[in-house]
Chains A and B, each alone.
Chain A
């Protein structure tokens, strides 16, 4: 029997202790926001927090979660139901396309900002290098992290400015 806390609620699972945390979360607890991408810790889609640290849940045995605190994407909202500032920034920058990798991206970004309130580009590269986005939204992820960190967002294209010079001659 593995006993651990997921998003603030205590869980006990009677399963093979070598079962990856990913499948316990998705199948036993039916929290499907955490995704399966590769199963070999190369893509980051399965990223969750284990005692506050980002881990790839596809290669983390459930036994490692014994007595631990696990946070998934479903656990980022506040008790009042408000989105986490990183989630808000993700909406503001219109980050997701297909959206499949974004739970993992957000969990990595939240962990980064908890350790480094003002990450520079190198810190972002380092913290986010394990998360693949096949839709290629890296530029928007970078902007959203900086937005969430409270930095001014410097972009080459501001959609709200509507690119008047090029877009006006319709």
Chain B
């Protein structure tokens, strides 16, 4: 039996019989009685549901039911580790299934984590609190894989509690069976033992008796010293299927009677179909229909390639919009003007107002000023957007890889004006997510096309369509001023920017600078925004940590040492920074033509310091090595955690070196990887990750590696070339010429 269960149709329609008659209220499901529905959707004959996030079958296989999607982050394995460890299960018995996209699997733990501000106190899991948070999450229709949240919210607030509660129930069952005290029993490797009498029973043998008990909402959790599976190397469960071609991604869905669709959406966001002449395309062999979706045109054919070829023969005229003259330069001018105006007119809104910054600037010996900019970015997932859909009367099924399957269900239902109860989402692996697969656009298109043609349809976006109709990391300008005293003391920090999204604290700096003003304004564009790995940290990490190096230079300090000085009251930050510096050999001489740069970034509850080494060769920058030190509280699955750091750094490095989405006549220009290059094997640096397990509240893994690479790179480039990189990507600089653009001294 596969360790990796995928949600099957059978689970929905044929389940429901639970042997032994013991139905157990899940830890997550306290208010009201929804047991019937949920149990029928996660059990099949012979399964014993211990609580809503764990089941044991007669063969002793323990299955964690995980309400998070897999896009390569390995969270499902880490969550199973948390459950299995608290349960004292035998790791080789443990598998997992992804929870179905139903309201009962609303990710209450995610809601709870956000609402409590990640206060990891399992004691708060009293029934009323659970119920309240569950209702909140359900109302928000959360089943989101994002925010680097799987382990730190679902794991901490859900999986560990569920595992510990299950263990207590199994012990109670054994105590009852043998008529001995619970305190005389021990649990290990899926077996309960009574040492005095030598009796033992497996979890499988005890499951049906255990299921008669109500799980405690506040079971005793293990101390770190007692962890047997958490914090240990385990192999990820999803990997074997990803080396033999058997892993099923959304694009691999096969539905009987399925046709294929290629699509072209309006090149300018906000434009619509003015007219469409499909006569030529419809004459092509294999083409069955051309569908006008209002803001996009799709060709349906017996094969994807036929549909894509025929799409070129469809003559579409698009309506004019007020954005048809927008281009990259006009956007940059707009951004710079809007932040300058907001700062000048006092119309900005504040993130931070600290001390008397106006006075500090007036008293400064030196004031330095610089404007930093980043471009729009696409996600460029390896698997282009796609979805397969079937609409039958008022019923709809969608096969897709989604970061938010429950949200997809509601979005598709709303678009087709169907009852959400009648929409089924079949969740698949995602060929990259990075935030892009949180939006249901391709699933909605597929469903609308399928309804129009009356057969199941697999819609696949071309790579160009994927580049040009993304939800983009916005282009952003951020203007800084810093006040430095004659003795080098940093007196004040002023930063105004636009594009305020999440997390709110992204532009906040950890440094002890007495006077600060961090503020923002709006500068709307017609390009849609979407979460992009680390969201607002992806730009502010670069802005604040690169400008900090300018401040250090103005203050006459080494950039690492000034960070240390201004973090004196933050021991956790210092430890991470020091570890990266030590491992990278900070302070050792750096040869001519080479550079070393440092950065520190706190995001999603984790602290990451990076030191980057670069070499200048013929005017080009090569990245040799990245040393990364990270404190995420506790790394549940260390190798998976390290892989997330490597991945986050690589993703950020692609953007820093090459990433730029440009706009001309209102439309995105990029079509593939020649005009949207990414890091490849030959330009990928050695990445060295050092984990610090501080024992603090568990932080995220998927995103925190990304923000710090760009500033550390820019700081290294300054040492190697004398040029301050204030505008990404790096590829637009020709380092054969040193750019003597000094910071503006006032």
User: Which residues of A come within 8 Å of B, CB atoms?
Assistant: 15-16, 19-20, 23, 27-28, 30-40, 42-43, 45, 72-74, 76-77, 83, 87, 90-91, 94-103, 106, 124-126, 128-129, 131-142, 156-157, 159-160, 162-163, 166-170
B313 within 8 A of partner (CB): no
CB of B73 within 8 A of CB of A97, answer yes
In the complex, are the beta carbons of A140 and B643 less than 8 A apart? yes
Contact at B431–A98, with CB atoms within 8 Å? yes
Query: Which of B290-298, B323-331, B691-699 sits within the interface?
Result: B691-699
B1 CB-CB contact with A under 8 Å: no
CB-CB < 8 A to B73: which residues of A? Answer: 97
Interface centre among B74, B239, B434 (most CB of A within 10 A): B239
B164 interface residue (CB < 8 Å to A): no
- B242 and A19 contacting across the interface, CB-CB below 8 Å: no
Q: Which residues of B contact A31 (CB under 8 A)?
A: 245
CA distance A126 to B653 in the complex (A): 21
* A138 and B639 contact, CB distance less than 8 A: no
Contacts of B653 in A (CB 8 A): 136
Interface centre among B249, B382, B643, B691 (most CB of A within 10 A): B382
- Residues of A contacting B639 with CB < 8 Å? 94, 159
Q: Given A138-B681, A156-B688, A159-B642, are A170 and B463 also a contact pair (CB < 8 Å)?
A: no
The docked-state distance in angstroms from the alpha carbon of A124 to that of B245 is 22
B243 near A91 with CB under 8 A, answer yes
- Given A45-B382, A99-B239, 6 more contacts at CB 8 Å? A38-B463, A43-B673, A132-B673, A135-B72, A135-B647, A170-B231
Contact with A along B346-389 (1 / 0, CB 8 A): 00000000000000000000000000000000001111100000
Contact indicator A37/B678 (Cβ below 8 Å): no
Which residues of chain B are near A72, meaning CB under 8 Å? 245
Evaluate contact between B232 and A162: CB separation under 8 angstroms: yes
Contact check, B252 vs A132: say whether CB atoms are below 8 A apart.
Answer: no
Q: Which of B238, B245, B304 contacts A23 (CB 8 A)?
A: B304
Known contacts A32-B252, A35-B383, A40-B672; A135 and B233 CB within 8 A of each other = no
Q: Is B276 an interface residue (CB 8 A)?
A: no
Which residue of chain B lies nearest to A168 when distances are taken between CB atoms in the complex? B693
For the complex, give the distance between the alpha carbons of A94 and B640 in Å.
8
Bound Cα distance from A76 to B246, whole angstroms: 12
- Find chain B residues with CB under 8 A from A126 CB: 682
Q: What 0/1 pattern do residues 285 to 321 of B give for CB contact below 8 A with A?
A: 1000000000000000001111010000000000000
**For residue B245, which residues in chain A have a CB less than 8 angstroms away from its CB?**
31-34, 72-74, 103
- CB–CB A136/B679 < 8 A: yes
In the complex, what distance in Å separates the CA atom of A124 from the CA atom of B380? Answer: 24
CA distance A110 to B594 in the complex (A): 36
**Residue contact A96 to B239, C-beta cutoff 8 Å:** yes
Bound CA span A132–B676, Å:
12
Contact B380–A134 (Cβ < 8 Å) = yes
Q: Which residues of A contact B246 (CB under 8 A)?
A: 33
A131 to B613, CA, bound (A): 25
Against A, the Cβ 8 Å flags (1 = close, 0 = not) of B670-713 are 00111000111110101111111111000000000000000000
B609 nearest CB across to chain A (Å): 13
In the complex the two chains form, is B688's CB within 8 Å of A125's CB? Answer: no
Contact between chains at B236 and A94 (CB < 8 Å): yes
- Contact check: which of A76, A129, A167 meets B693 at CB < 8 Å? A167
Instruction: Please indicate the chain B residues that have their CB under 8 angstroms from the CB of A32 in the complex.
Output: 245, 248, 251-252, 254
What CA separation (Å) do A106 and B651 show in the bound complex? 21
- Please name all residues of chain A whose beta carbon is closer than 8 Å to the beta carbon of B649 when the two chains form the complex: 136
Distance, CA A168 to CA B693, complexed state (A): 7
With contacts A31-B245, A142-B681 taken as known, whether A98 is within 8 angstroms of B382 at the C-beta atoms is yes
Chain B, 6-35, contact with A by CB distance < 8 Å: what is the 0/1 string?
000000000000000000000000000000
Name B384's contact: one of A37, A76, A125, A163 (CB within 8 Å): A37
Query: B residues 582-614 with Cβ under 8 Å of A?
Result: none
Q: Is the CB of B681 within 8 A of A170?
A: no
Taking CB atoms, residues of chain A closer than 8 Å to B679 are 136, 138
A102 in complex: contacting residue of B243, B248, B303, B690, CB < 8 Å: B243
Contact A83–B647 (Cβ < 8 Å): no
Task: Tell me whether B260 is interfacial, beta carbon within 8 Å.
Answer: yes
B235 beta carbon closer than 8 Å to chain A: yes
Cα A124 to Cα B682 with chains together (Å): 8
Cβ B651 vs Cβ A160 within 8 A:
no
B381 to chain A, nearest CB (A): 6
Nearest-CB distance from A156 to chain B (Å)? Answer: 4
Instruction: List B contacts of A135 (CB < 8 A).
Output: 72, 432, 647, 650-651
Output the least CB separation between B692 and chain A (Å). Answer: 6
By beta carbon, the residue of chain A nearest B252 is: A32
* Most chain B CB inside 10 Å of its own CB: which residue of A90, A132, A170: A170
User: CB-CB < 8 A to B285: which residues of A?
Assistant: 16
Give the residue of B74, B244, B634, B684 whose beta carbon is less than 8 angstroms from that of A77. B244
A136 touches B646 (CB 8 A): yes
14 A-B residue pairs with Cβ-Cβ distance under 8 Å, sorted by A, are: A33-B246, A36-B384, A37-B382, A39-B672, A42-B674, A74-B244, A99-B429, A102-B242, A102-B243, A136-B647, A136-B649, A138-B684, A167-B638, A170-B693
List the A residue with the shortest CB-CB distance to B679: A136
Interface residues of B in 197-245 (CB under 8 A from A): 224, 231-233, 235-236, 238-245
CB-contact partner of B383 in A37, A141, A170, under 8 A: A37
Q: Are B691 and A136 in contact (CB under 8 A)?
A: no
**Contact (A137, B249) CB under 8 Å given A73-B244, A98-B433:** no
B381: chain A residues within 8 A (beta carbon): 98, 100, 134
B655 CB → nearest A CB, Å = 11
For the complex formed, measure the closest distance between the CB of B670 and the CB atoms of chain A, giving whole angstroms: 12
From residue 40 to 84 of chain B, which have CB atoms closer than 8 A to chain A? 71-74
B462 at the interface (CB under 8 A from A): yes
B273 close to A (CB within 8 Å): no
Q: Report the minimal beta-carbon distance from B634 to chain A, rounded to whole angstroms.
A: 6
Tell yes or no: B418 within 8 A of A by CB. no
- The 7 closest A-B CB pairs, nearest first, are A33-B245, A136-B650, A100-B431, A99-B242, A97-B72, A98-B72, A159-B639
Distance from B506 Cβ to chain A, minimum over Cβ atoms (Å):
22
Q: Whole-angstrom distance between the alpha carbons of A61 and B336 in the complex?
A: 49
Residues of A within 8 A of B241 (CB): 99
Chain B nearest CB from A72 CB (Å) reads: 7
Q: How far does the alpha carbon of A74 sit from the alpha carbon of B252 in the complex, in Å? A: 14
Residues of chain A contacted by B251 (CB below 8 angstroms): 32, 35-36
The CA of A132 and the CA of B681, in the complex, are separated in Å by 8
Which residues of chain B come closer than 8 Å to A95, judged between CB atoms? 239, 243
Nearest chain A CB to B648's CB is how many angstroms away?
Answer: 8
The residue on B at minimum CB distance from A128 is B681
Q: Complex Cα distance A163/B739, Å? A: 42
Would A99 and B72 count as touching, CB distance under 8 A? Answer: yes
Contact A19 B305 (CB under 8 A): yes
**In the complex, A27 Cα to B251 Cα: how many Å?**
11
Nearest chain A residue, comparing its CB with the CB of B638: A159
The CB with the most chain B CB atoms within 10 A, among A34, A37, A134, is that of A134
CA distance A125 to B685 in the complex (A): 12
Shortest beta-carbon distance, A99 to chain B, in Å? 3
Question: Does B643 contact A137, Cβ atoms closer than 8 Å?
Answer: yes
| B227 and chain A: residue at smallest CB distance | A170
Is B443 an interface residue when CB atoms closer than 8 A count as contact? no
* C-alpha gap A133/B380 in the complex (Å): 11
Cα of A119 to Cα of B380 in the assembled complex, Å: 30
Q: How far is the CB of B704 from chain A (nearest CB, A)?
A: 15
